[in-house]
Structure formats: structure tokens, C-alpha cells
Structure 1
Amino acid sequence: MPWWAAVLVVFGAARVVTTVFLLVLAAAQPENAWTGASPRYIDFASMWDGRWYNIVAVSGYPSSLPLTEDGHVGENAWAFMPVYPAVVRIVMVLTGAEWALAAVAVSILAGFGAALVTYLLFRERLDRRTALFGVVVFAVAPVSAVFQVAYAESLHLLLLAWALLLLLRRRYLLLVPVIVVMGFTRPSALAFALFLGLHVVVRLVRRRQDPFAPRELPTAILATVTSVVVGFAWPAIAWAVTGSITAYTDTELAWRSAYIGYQHLVPFAPWFQGLEWWVGSRWGWVLVVLIVLGFAAALLSRPVRALGVDLRLWLASYALYLLAVFFPQSSTFRLLVPLFPLAGAIAVPTSRVYRVFVVLGSLALQWGWLLIAWRVDGYDWTPP
């Protein structure tokens, strides 16, 4: 069958399996803060951050930051970017659909689009069979349930895969509007700016092997500057609306206060703080170092090298961004989704036994992630 049909079948089959998982869990779900007992699929799929996106779509953002009893900024809508709830709101207005249905539908459709673009991205570096199995890995990944819930990940991945594809094809000017929309969908623009900067430097160093065509260098620099501006734009908008220069960072820090209290954001400190909280100061620091070294070793492995320099630069840039600003907790597994090009590397080995093991292992981990992170069990401290 045509490549696009094969991709749609693969992604659709994976979504059927995940739907079964979610329906089984929904049937056994007790009453909770978001739903009654045994909710409908769309209600079960629009819990957690889906409620915040719902608030943004219906009410927008607060002009005054909510404060806790001890005077700190509490959790609020400024932590959530506007593009996904805006798209869902448009769908609601055009179709008359309720929030939950419209939100899940947008996520699923964007997920199918992301799968198609991911295949094209993999085909830039991999053969047809490997690229298609890369889409299989992408579709059944342990956190792939986020492709069919009321989260912004599907839409962000569609834009991110498109941006990476444009870069591999050296279409820098077309990349600029994609960066703008992507940067207001999920916080990723600063990571992408670092990636673009490294890409430009590498091309300048390797100009004999990969010279810039006329007008490529100025447009590549334009894309990089755009990504930097977009990366700082949302905190600036939050400042302008609320009057607090730290409105966005204070809002983000509110989510980690249950673990380590209210602290200032110090770059590269959150992982040491987090793993110190999880496993103790001595072993926490050791574990951070081991994670960094392990990821660096993975980037140098043969399957990951098959992705080419540019995709490896993105993997390194986003991983460095996570290390700099994010606090490790259960939602960190979802925040690893933009590392999706690794699915192409996982697909490189051709052994059938290996590939069956990858699919079955991914589905088992997906079920475990849903049990731990998505299902609500009383006071739940493992948000997805």
C-alpha cells in the first residue's frame, strides 16, 4: 500500500489498542476530582491538564496571580500555552461539540498528522522499512496515550516533526512561522533556538562538506533569532498581563512546591534537587551524572548516529533544556516525548525477535504508565 496508508494503518491500530486500555481503566475508575465513577471515554481522556486547557479555552488567563495562604503564587493557567486550547475552542464553535469531544478529536487528528510527518522525517535518513517501523515505535511508545487525550502533545509533535523536516530540507524561511506556532503550543522554543544555533555552527565548521547555498545563512540566522524571541515571549506576555516579571516561572515552580517547597529557579539545579528528594543527596547526584553520561553514550551509538547530525543535535539540545529547567517527577516521562526521533534509532536493528520485543515491551510499559500516571487513585501524586 502507499506509504501514507501504511502509516495511517499503523497509527490507527496503535490507537485502537490504547483505546482499549483507557476504556478498561475508565470502567474501573472511582469518582475523583475530574469525573464521576466509570466515566465516558472522552471525560476520562480530558482529566488532569485537560481541565487547565479547558479553563484557558473558556476563560482565558488570569490578570491577577492566585496566591497560597503563605503568599506564594499558586497553580494557575499561565503554565499552559494558548495554541491548543484556541484550536479546540475554534472546533467547538464550528461544530457545537462539547469541550471533551473537541479536545480529544483535535489530539487524535494531530497525532495522525504527526505520524505522517514523522515517517517523512525518518525517510530523510532511513530506508523505507526502517522508517515505517520507526513509526510503529512512535505509535506504541510507553506514553503514546497522550496522542488521544486532551493534552497539547499531539499538536506540538506535529509542528515539531514538521519543523525538523523543514530544517533537514534546508527550508529555513518556511521554518519561521512553524517555530512561532510551535513555541506557543508547548514550551520548546528555547530548546529549538539552541538546536538551530548549533546547526548553524556545525554547518559553518563543515562548510566544505555542507556549504550554505545563497540566502541560506541569513534565513537560518533569522529562524534562530525568531526561536529565541518566541522562547521569551510567553513569560513577557504573562508579565505584561499580571504585572509580575516572574509570573510564568513562579507559576511553573508552584507545581514542584509539594516536593521541595517554593524556591527560585536556578538553571541545572532542578534535577539535582529532584533526585536528592527521591533517593537522597549522595545517590541523587550520582544518578544525575549517570543519566547524563548514559544519554551522551546513546547519542554516540550506531543506531542513533544513523539519524544524522541534525537530529542528534535536536536530541542533545532538548535533553539539555530538560536538564536545565524541569523538575523530575512522574510528568517527566511525558516531557520526553519531543525526543521522538529516538524511535527511528530504536527501529534500526532488523531482527524480527527484537522488533516484536520492542512492540510488546512498549505496550506493557504503556499499560504501566496509564496505571501509575493517568488513573486517579485517591490522593494521587503521580500526574501524567
Structure 2
Amino acid sequence: MSAAFSPAASSVPAASRAAAGGRRRQLGAVLAVWAAATALSLLLLRLSAQDTGATVWAPAAPSWMQHASFWDSGWYERIARAGYPTELPTGADGTVLQNPWAFMPLLPLLASALAWTGWSFYACATVVSLAASAAAALVMDCWLEPRVGRRASLWAVALVWCSPCAVVLQLPYAESLGLLAVGAALLLAQRGRFLAATPAVLAAALARPLGVPLTASLGLWWLWETVRAHRSAAAQASGFRLRLLGLTGVAAAGTLAWPLLAWVVTGRPDAYTATETSWRGGTLAPLLQWLTRSQWWVGDHLGWALLAGVVAVGGLVLSAPALRRLGAPAWLWCVGYCLYLLVFFDPTTSLLRLLLPLAPAGWALAARATPRMRLLLLALGIIGQVFWISWVWNGYSNITWVP
């Protein structure tokens, strides 16, 4: 019997076709889950609009596009319309005031590319966010499904896209672009396709302030692989580690590009950092803002205890076996991103939205949870979304919550 007609030879393409068919069905299922979750978020958003009073952005009971123009969406529209200022606005005491340099250019650039449609900026930006959101769900599934299984991965998409702040993934915000860029960068890097990962790494730095945590996570991954290689004498992996180190350097360069551009355009070396800190009314001193906020919640003498407790809880979550089983890239991304928030972020109510890049934790949770626990988590996420839309996006509460 010739090799061309042997059962072993003919089974290879058949197996490949079956695997490709299974992959297509999985991607179709991911899109179906994403579409259902996104439609539910839109329904909640539109129902809540009927109870929304007059705001600085729109009259009471705003339309869909008026509702989409709330909060930071207006900053992106301003960038698309007028660009970035060449001179930073300052107060009477010389302090830099809030201005567009705090917002990365990728979303307004992509939305402006759709201006030929004649739609408003908010409609174009919503299309960009929706497309990026769907693509992010597909990329995250391709990346993490081999680690958790198909069913758990579908549940993870449902949990992430029904989480309390998930509606922002379909609004004129750059969260969906950032999630897509980070997921694509780490997926391609994990597969050894470092050259293809380069545009995604740069896109992450130009979509959201994700360059620092992405550089940190890639550097930690390189260190992880280097230590493993020395322990196992795996000299054959040196090429992989060298390319990974190169990608880390690209991420670092992308991180520095925006502050350098702000410096060149405005003539101020601190243009970007001074703009960022104008929202918090303080300095960029590492860790200090977390201690200040802790003291605000429980008092000066107990603030350190609250902060220590938060750090301890974070450490326990990040060391969970289910998260580590996702692989070094996903685990170290979560570690690097949490360290970034702890060192640089001012923990206001925006923290809820800024936890969205920790989406891989949704895959770890879905893999670990029982069916009943998955349903409970899904229900809690939807309930949280109801409150987030009403209290935060709409400002329905008597307390001012910032998305």
C-alpha cells in the first residue's frame, strides 16, 4: 500500500479539518456569547437613560448618542475635533489644569477614520469600541481557551462582558482597544511571533496608559524564562528569551513615546505627568495616593492597616493556582498590572473600570468555579452592572461616583 493512500496519511488532513471546524464553532460561540452580553448591557443602559436627569452633557432622558457622550467620551471628541494643545492650560498658581494630553490618541484616530460615513464622532467611536470589544473576546478565547477548555472559556467571556463596568466596552472609551491590544500582544508573543506582536504592543501604549504594566509584565516574563532556563539548562530557549527581551524594549520605547511627544509639542518636559496628576490634585509619588485614600476612609491611624489588608488580599488573589495555571504571560500580566495600579494609580471609584484589563482572571475564575458558582457570579456581575450604570455613569446616586 502506498503512503499516499495509507490510513495514517489520510487521517492527518481529516484531523486538521476537524480541528479547524471545532475552532470555527468555538469562535462562533464566543461571538454569540459576546453579542448576548453586549446586547444586555445596551438594554440596561437604555433603560437607565429614562431615569437620567439633566446633566452637563445632555438633557433628561438622553438619546443613545447623548448618553454615550458622558464623562471622558467628551475628551476624545475634543481630541478628534481640535487635536492636542501646544500650550498647557494653567491656573493662577501655575498648576497645570486638566487637558487632552491625558488621553491617548488611538481611539480618536480610528474614529476619525470613519468620518467619511457622515456619522457623529460618538457614533464612529462606538463602532470602533464595539468592533474592538468583539475582537478582544475572540483573541482572549484563542489565547486562554487551551488552558481552561472550551466551555469554561465561553463562561469567562460571559463573566467578563457581564461584569459591573462592562458597558464601557461599547462606549466611546478606549478600554476595549486596550484589552484587544494587550491580549493580541501576549497571545502572539506566547506563540513566539514577536515581530507580529510588535504593532499590538505599540497599540496598547497608544490606546490606554498600558505601556508601563505591559513592559513590566514582559520583563517579568523574560526573568521567569531566564531563571527556568538556568535551572533546567535549557540552552535551546535562548533565542526565545532574546526576542522576548527585545519585545520588552519595544514596549518600553512605546511607553516613553507619548510623554516625549507631549514634551516636544508643548515644550514642557513634564507635560504628560503634570497633566495626569491634575486629576488628582497632587503629585505622582509612588504608593502615596493609596495611603492617602486609605486614611480618608478609616482615619490617619488605621489607614496603613487598611492598605496592608488590601495588599494582602491582592497577593492572595494573584497567587491563586487557577490564575497561575493560565501560563506565565497571563499570570505575569495580572501581576504587572496590579503592581502598576499600586505604584502609580490614585484609587478613586475609577478603579472599578480600571480592573477590566485583568480579564484573564475571569478565565481563571470560570475554570475553577462550579456550574452553580458560575451562575451566581454571572448574576452578581449583572446586578453590579445595574448599579454601576445608574450610580456611576448616570450619577443617579447622591454621592458623586466617577467612572
Q: State the shift of 1:377 in Å.
A: 4.5
Task: From 191, 194, 203, give the equivalent of 1:169.
Answer: 191
Q: Identify which of 243, 249, 253 aligns with 2:273.
A: 249
Contact 2:185 2:200 survives alignment (8 Å): yes
> Is residue 271–residue 327 contact of structure 1 (8 Å, CA) maintained in 2?
yes
Q: Distance in 2 between matches of 1:83 and 1:150?
A: 12
With over 3 angstroms needed to count, the CA separation of the structure-2 counterparts of 1:120 and 1:211, relative to structure 1, is farther
1:273 partnered with 2:292 = yes
Query: Which residue of the partner structure matches residue 260 of structure 1?
Result: none
| Conservation of the 8 A alpha-carbon contact between 2:390 and 2:396 | no
Alignment of structure 1 residues 324-339 onto 2, 5 Å: 324-339=343-358
Quick one: distance in 2 between partners of 1:209 and 1:85? 48
2:178/2:210 contact within 8 Å kept: no
**Aligned-partner Cα distance in 2 for 1:152–1:311:** 21
Deviation, 1:193, is: 0.9
Following superposition, the deviation at residue 355 of structure 1 comes to 1.2
2:90–2:97 contact (8 Å) kept in structure 1: yes
Amino acid at match of 2:180: L
User: Is the aligned partner of 1:199 residue 2:218?
Assistant: no
Q: Retained in 2: the 8 A contact 1:54–1:99?
A: yes
Q: Is the 8 A contact 1:303 1:345 kept in 2?
A: yes
- Report the Cα distance in structure 2 between the residues aligned to 1:136 and 1:168, rounded to whole angstroms: 24
Please give the residue correspondences for 1:135-284 in structure 2 after superposition, counting only pairs within 5 Å: 135-207=157-229, 208=232, 213=237, 215-257=239-281, 263-284=282-303
1:3 maps to 2:26: yes
**Does 5-14 or 282-291 show the bigger shift?**
282-291
Counterpart pick for 2:41 among 1, 11, 18:
18
- 1:133 offset after TM fit, Å? 1.1
Change in Cα spacing, 1:184 to 1:212, as seen in structure 2 (3 Å) is farther
Q: CA deviation at 1:350?
A: 4.7
Deviation, 1:79, is: 0.3
* Aligned with residue 61 of structure 2, among 38, 60, 63: 38
| CA deviation vs aligned residue, 1:19-72 (integer Å, no higher than 9, x gap) | 111111111211111111111112202210000000011111011111123321
Q: Aligned equivalents of 1:378 and 1:49: distance in 2?
A: 19
Question: What is the letter of the counterpart of residue 295 of structure 1?
Answer: G
Q: Between Structure 1 and Structure 2, whose CA radius of gyration is higher? A: 2
Change (3 A) 1:285 1:349: same
Q: Which of 332, 344, 349 lines up with 1:313 in the alignment?
A: 332
Matched residue pairs, number?
378
Name which of structure 1's ranges 139-148 and 349-358 shifts more when overlaid on structure 2.
349-358
Q: Is the 8 A contact 2:349 2:401 kept in 1?
A: yes
Deviations 1:226-283 (A, max 9, x none): 11111121111111111111111111111112xxxxx321122221122222332223
Matched-pair contact (CA < 8 Å) for 1:238–1:244:
yes
For 1:383, the equivalent position in structure 2 comes to 402
Structure 1 spans left out of the alignment, 5+ residues: 258-262
The unaligned stretches of length 5 or more in structure 2 are: 1-23
Distance in 1 (CA, whole Å) between partners of 2:242 and 2:192 is: 12
1:66 to 53, 69, 89: 89
C-alpha separation in 1, matches of 2:233 and 2:145: 21
TM-score w.r.t. the length of structure 2 is 0.90
Amino acid at match of 1:3: Q
CA–CA distance in structure 1, aligned partners of residues 109 and 184 of structure 2? 20
**Deviation at 1:124?**
3.3
Judge conservation of contact 2:148–2:364 (CA < 8 Å) in 1: no
**Distance in 1 separating the partners of 2:280 and 2:283:** 11
1:350 and 1:234 mapped to 2: Cα distance?
Answer: 41
130, 144, 147: which one aligns with 2:152: 130
The CA deviation at 1:212 is 5.2
3-state secondary structure, aligned to 1:353: helix
Q: Residue 14 of structure 2 corresponds to which residue in structure 1? A: none
Residues 9 and 264 of structure 1: is their aligned pair in 2 closer, same or farther, counting only changes over 3 Å? Answer: same
Which stretch shifts more, 304-313 or 135-144?
A: 304-313
Contact 2:291–2:307 (Cα < 8 Å) also in 1 = yes
Secondary structure of the equivalent of 1:382? Answer: coil
Corresponding residue to 2:370 among 343, 348, 351: 351
Distance in 2 between the 1:100 and 1:127 partners? Answer: 37
Q: Distance in 2 between matches of 1:349 and 1:108?
A: 29
Query: Per the alignment, do residues 136 and 210 of structure 1 end up closer, same or farther by CA in structure 2, a change over 3 Å counting?
Result: farther
Say what the alpha-carbon RMSD is for the aligned residues. Answer: 1.8
How far apart, in 1, do the equivalents of 2:33 and 2:98 lie?
38
In structure 1, C-alpha distance between the alignment counterparts of 2:324 and 2:397, rounded to whole Å: 45
Kept in 2: contact 1:79–1:248 (CA 8 A): yes
Aligned mates of 1:11, 1:336 — CA distance in 2: 19
Aligned counterparts of 2:397 and 2:315: Cα–Cα separation in 1: 39
Contact 1:46–1:104 (Cα < 8 Å) also in 2: no
Shift in CA distance, 216/308, structure 1 to aligned 2, threshold 3 Å: closer
> Could you say which residue in structure 1 is the equivalent of 2:379?
360
Q: Say if 2:390 and 2:397, in contact at 8 Å, map to a contact too.
A: no
Structure 1 stretches of 4+ moved >6 Å: none
User: Partner letter of residue 189 of structure 2?
Assistant: L
1:94-109 residue pairs with structure 2 within 5 A?
A: 94-109=116-131
Whole-Å separation in 1 of the counterparts to 2:30 and 2:53? 36
Using the size of structure 1 for normalisation, the TM-score is 0.94
Cα offsets for 1:275-322 (capped at 9, x unmatched)? 222332223221211111111111222322321232111111010011
SS at match of 2:84: coil
